[in-house]
Structure formats: structure tokens, C-alpha cells
Structure 1
Amino acid sequence: MPPRDEYPPGHPAPGPDVRTVVIAAAAGDEGAWRALVERYGPVVHRVARGFRLDERDTQDVAQMVWLRLWENLASIREPRALPGWIATTTRHECLRTLRGRLRMVPLDEPGTEAPADHPDPDDALLRAEAAEAVRHGLAELPPVQRELLALLAAEPDLTYRQIGRRLGMPVGSIGPTRARGLARLGATTAVLRYRAV
């Protein structure tokens, strides 16, 4: 985790490191749980915005993400990969919400069209399939590459210095590790199968 002075004023740091906070939250520490929600809430909202959900649906998605996290806290083996886990879970919940919304819109009736601000279901499904392929592909990578790529995807604005502190990596090794990880990800069975479809 970044040192406390890297968090903006009024935004409390979640603790000395993610592992400690996750363990404390799993043990029932309410302060640690609030710290996790505050720290990773922006990840949930950023992903939901990508699906163009309205505020009510975004809040519903966020509640489900936090419920899933609460249910799985004790089984999280690598807390540093938590941003990627939260982003993936948010995508799944967004897609579930979109599917539910599509079932409510009778698009096959003559003269009925989807609302103008409704995301294209084909685009959403394509994104979901691509995300699923990448998720399975990441599982095939060595832990260092998997954690780095998951963090870069979840928080693309982080500097290499921040990433180095988060993952305990020398700054000079981040670029090469990223390049090797992306090359290896592109050659994984899951990603190759997705591209072949």
C-alpha cells in the first residue's frame, strides 16, 4: 500500500498494507472493512461508469460487489491482487444488471427500440467475453506478472513508483515485467481461443 502521505487530504489510508487490512476485516474489524470500501470504492465506480449504468444501478452493483468481497475475504490468498478481483467482480455484476435490464425491454415487439442511453448489448457481451478470456489468461501467468497486470488494469493512473511500493518491485523491473507479462498473456490458451472465435 502507498504510505499515508500519498492519500489526498480527508481520505484515510487503509492501513500499513493491504494484507493486514484484509486479515483484520476478515476477522470482523469494522474500521478495516470501511478502509477497504473507501480505498477500492473508486475502482467499482470507474468500472460501472464504463458500462454506462445509472446511479441507482451503480449503487446496486457496488452493494453486490461488497457482499461478494465480504463472503470471500477469508479465502483471499493474495491481497495485493485485490484491485483486480474487485474490478472483475464489478464487471460481472454490471453484466448481470444489463442482462436483467434487457429481459425487461421487449425489443422484439414492432416499433420498440432500446432507450438511447442503453448500452449496446452486443458490445457489452463482447467486452464480457474478452474480460473472461483475459481473466483466465492471467491465471496462467506467473504470480508477479499476474499481480502487475491486474494492478495496472484496475488502477491505470498509478506511477511506477507507486506500483513498486504496492508490489514490492524495483521500479526498473516494472516495464520489462509488464512487457513480458503482456506477451505471455497474448500467448495463453484462453486468449488465443478467444481471438480464434
Structure 2
Amino acid sequence: MESNTEVLVGWRSGSCGWDALVERYSRLVWSVPRSFRLSHADAADVYQCTWLCLAEHLTRLRQPEALGVWLVRTATRQSITVLRTRGREVPFDLWEPESVLPAPDEVAVTHDRQRRLWGALMTLSERCQQLLRIAAHSPELSYAQVADALGIKVGSVGSTRSRCLAELRRKLEALR
């Protein structure tokens, strides 16, 4: 497999490269908006915007081997922008019969659990947040792919994930 540097040099010279980059990082880029629970249409917009940003900034990348980190950060920023502009509400279909809608107390309990979970997650370090989002929403990614995306050693992915989960558990227990 070619390194990112070789692929970028190939792309800049016009011989090849873009398809190799997309194939290498496509699942990783998709995992970010999915981790923010965006709709399919919004996730597709984030995905496309992330690749467009890469095309616009490709000649300015200083560390091609950190491309996975750059893509995750860009997709994260794009996802946050979508959340801010679209809001976090998920509209109910008003044409559905009342019996299909969840009971208000169920909605309140679910919302409270989600609020506490996201609140605790947001207090973790950025690396832990990214690692746990990737683990939750793209479990099919190998440790090598996760390590590449986060810019860490492959051997530290499992232990870092364990420490992040333990810290998240402690924070959630403190909120009870």
C-alpha cells in the first residue's frame, strides 16, 4: 500500500491518487457524521464537504501522513456546523397515529440519559471523544485504521479506549 505522501505526489502530478485516498479514508470520514447522529442527507453533506475541503487544501498539507487526523477534524467541524444550523430536534411525523409516538415520560427519561451521556463525553479529552465516537459508530474499523485516524500507535488503541471508557463510566456515576 502506498503511503499518503506517495498518493499525494501522484495526485499533484496528475497520474493518480484521489481514488486511492477516497478508498483508504471513506469509511473513516463517514463514521464522523454518523457519530453525531446526523440524518443520512446531512451525513452525506458532511462527507462531501470534507472531501471538498481536502481538495481545496491538498496542496497546503504539511504532514501527509497525518491525513486521517486532518479528515476526522474537518468532518467533526462540518458535523458541528450542521448541528448548529439544523438544530438537534428530530421531527415526528405528524401523520402517524398517536399510539406510535413514545409516551412523554419515556421521551423525558431518554432525553435525560442522552444529555448526561453527551455531557460526560464532552468533558473527556478530544482524543478520548474521537476514539469513543469511532469505536461506537464504526466498529468495523481495524486498530490500524483507528490509530492512523487519530495519529496514535496501533498498540495503544485498546488500552487508550479502555482508559477512556473507564473515565466516562466514572463521570456518569458521578452524575447519578
How much does 1:127 deviate?
8.8
Structure 2 residue 93 is the aligned partner of structure 1 residue 101: no
Paired with 1:81 and 1:28, the residues of 2 have a C-alpha distance of 22
| Alignment RMSD | 4.4
Which ranges of structure 1 fall in alignment gaps of 5 or more residues? Answer: 4-15, 106-112, 136-148, 183-197
Q: Report the equivalent of 2:97.
A: none
Identify if the C-alpha distance between structure 1 residues 53 and 46 changes in structure 2 by more than 3 Å, giving closer, same or farther. same
Contact 1:95 1:128 in 2 (8 A): no
In percent, how many aligned pairs have the same letter? 30
C-alpha offsets along residues 80-128 of structure 1, whole Å, 9 cap, x if unaligned?
A: 21111111111111111111112xx8xxxxxxx7526xxx797898599
Code of the residue aligned with 1:158 in structure 2: it is S
Written as runs of structure 1 = structure 2, the 5 A alignment for 1:18-97 is 18-29=4-15, 31-97=16-82
Written as runs of structure 1 = structure 2, the 5 A alignment for 1:116-155 is 134=126
Identify if the C-alpha distance between structure 1 residues 130 and 45 changes in structure 2 by more than 3 Å, giving closer, same or farther. farther
Q: TM-score, normalised by structure 2?
A: 0.55
How much does 1:39 deviate?
1.4
Paired with 2:143 and 2:66, the residues of 1 have a C-alpha distance of 17
Q: Report the equivalent of 2:99.
A: none
Identify if the C-alpha distance between structure 1 residues 124 and 91 changes in structure 2 by more than 3 Å, giving closer, same or farther. farther
Structure 2 residue 142 is the aligned partner of structure 1 residue 158: yes
Q: Report the equivalent of 1:193.
A: none
Code of the residue aligned with 2:21 in structure 1: it is L
Identify if the C-alpha distance between structure 1 residues 74 and 158 changes in structure 2 by more than 3 Å, giving closer, same or farther. same
Q: Report the equivalent of 1:115.
A: 91
How much does 1:43 deviate?
0.7
Identify if the C-alpha distance between structure 1 residues 130 and 61 changes in structure 2 by more than 3 Å, giving closer, same or farther. farther
How much does 1:42 deviate?
0.6
Paired with 1:61 and 1:25, the residues of 2 have a C-alpha distance of 23
Greater RCO, 1 or 2 (C-alpha within 8 Å, sep 6+) = 2
